[in-house]
Amino acid sequence: MENWRKSPIVFMFTLLPPALWLTAFFVLPLSLLWLFSFGEKSGITGIDITWTLANYARALEPLYLGIFLKSLWIAGATALICLIIGLPVALAISFASTRTRPWLLLLIILPFWTNLLIRTYALIATLRGNGHVNSVLGWLWKIFGAQFTPLEILYTDGAVVTGLVYVHLPFMVLPVYAALDRIDRSLIEASLDLGAGHVRTFFTIIAPLAMPGIVSGVIITFIPAFGAYLTPDLLGGPDSQMIANVIDRQFKAANDWPFGAALSFILLYAAFFGLAMRGLIGRRAVMGRAP
């Protein structure tokens, strides 16, 4: 704190470029979109800022409220499945040897090196009627002499959840692993030495200490899944569209920018609420550990 006060000019010149960048390409566009959410369509391309709440009230209509609720349960199912899969994976990485651990982390990070669109099309090739999943199941059925009817996996809610889990699983593994890696191993050894089994040690020692990482993983998995666009657009059918796809149609096909802006900011408010809950839980955890 005292160092930058001694050299305020250097500090200002260091802060100025990123501040200008964020203002020009984040704050101003977001502020303009926020203004649009209180406006009304005027002609084909015009927007009048009338400070109306009609766009937000329209978002509460049964049609859009149902899509919001469906997006919520798809995002919740995604976060839950990622937690069920990611927690054992994070545990395995945390307790792996020091030589094996970097390679396991590399395998978790490796999907980020491939474009999301390419990975989604790979899932389409896997889940379609004559894809890899049905091919393997057909081969297994043929071994047992049974007739196999290809499963309709693609363009369903299940395909959307599968794609979202595939995309967001690393976001669950990494924060949980970071929390597990900070746990004092002597506490686990003491629990085992005192007669507690592995299951009881997990629920009484490991899980409570790793809870900040688990909560972070759930939040940073749930929020992007809630606002996902590409995965439900490519893997979901007409009944599997999420709220981000509705927002896209408002800005493009319907040309209703005020309503699309209102829906966008409802998503943003939900994200802020999730982050605020994460901060509150983290603060309580710190206060609980305080002497």
Q: Residue 263 corresponds to which tokens in the numbers above?
A: 């829906």
What confidence category does residue 44 fall into, taking pLDDT thresholds of 50, 70 and 90? low
pLDDT tens profile 242-275? 999 999 999 888 888 999 999 999 988 888 887 7
pLDDT tens profile 173-210? 999 999 999 888 888 888 888 888 888 888 898 888 89
167 - beta bridge partners? none
Q: Which fold has domain 58-289?
A: MetI-like fold (1.10.3720)
Q: Is the separation of the CB atoms in 216 and 174 below 8 Å?
A: no
| Three-class DSSP labels, 250-283 | HHCCCCCHHHHHHHHHHHHHHHHHHHHHHHHHHH
pLDDT tens profile 49-98? 888 899 999 988 999 999 999 999 999 999 999 999 999 999 999 989 88
Residue 288 has pLDDT above 60, yes or no: no
Coil, helix or strand at residue 42: strand
pTM score, two decimals? 0.86
Q: What percent of the chain has pLDDT over 70?
A: 93
At 241, phi and psi to the nearest 5? -75, 145
- Where exactly are the structural domains of the chain? 58-289
**Residue in 68, 67, 170, 74 with CA at minimum distance from that of residue 119:** 170
